[in-house]
């Protein structure tokens, strides 16, 4: 149980893999823009108590492995990271502000998948073993 994080009344290990792209897939995240984005994402995660476990910035997209608490939704986390980074990068790099004149550095949407050590099969087996009766998918123990 030591590997799990905890809140006042919870123990959890919620990890998500998130990917988002630049608008029009322009390869603008090179060199100093990419390094600055990395720093901004680190600062943003630290400010919101989001664990940044791994990341990779490609010229036209971002990959992050994040650890979040049960009180944070994926959409809130991504909205915060994309919004903050877009605003600050465009303020610091005039070429970005010129290219993205509508002030939208990132394309709408993102990809997200949960990550864990427990597979769906392991969880299903665990649930089914709780009441080894007739093998129904959803049982109530009386």
Task: Enumerate the active-site residues.
Answer: 126
Rounded Cα distance, 110 and 112, in Å: 7
| Angle at alpha carbon of residue 81, lines to 52 and 32, rounded to 5° | 85
The number of CA neighbours under 13 Å toward the Cβ of 128 is: 10
Q: Tell me the C-alpha to C-alpha distance, in Å, between residue 126 and each of 31, 118, 133.
A: 48, 10, 14
Task: Return the bridge partners of 55, or none.
Answer: 64
Q: Tell me the C-alpha to C-alpha distance, in Å, between residue 112 and each of 16, 27, 90, 109, 120.
A: 7, 21, 25, 10, 17
């Amino acid at each position: 149980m030591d590997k799990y994080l905890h809140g006042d009344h919870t123990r959890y290990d919620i990890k998500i893999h998130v990917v988002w792209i630049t608008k029009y897939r322009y390869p603008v995240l090179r060199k100093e823009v990419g390094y600055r984005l990395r720093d901004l994402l680190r600062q943003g995660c630290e400010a919101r108590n989001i664990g940044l476990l791994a990341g990779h910035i490609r010229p036209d997209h971002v990959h992050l492995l994040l650890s979040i608490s049960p009180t944070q939704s994926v959409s809130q986390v991504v909205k915060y990271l994309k919004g903050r980074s877009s605003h600050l990068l465009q303020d610091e790099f005039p070429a970005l502000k010129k290219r993205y004149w509508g002030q939208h550095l990132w394309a709408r949407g993102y990809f997200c998948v949960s990550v864990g050590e427990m597979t769906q099969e392991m969880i299903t087996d665990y649930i089914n073993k709780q009441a080894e009766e007739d093998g129904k998918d959803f049982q109530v123990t009386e």
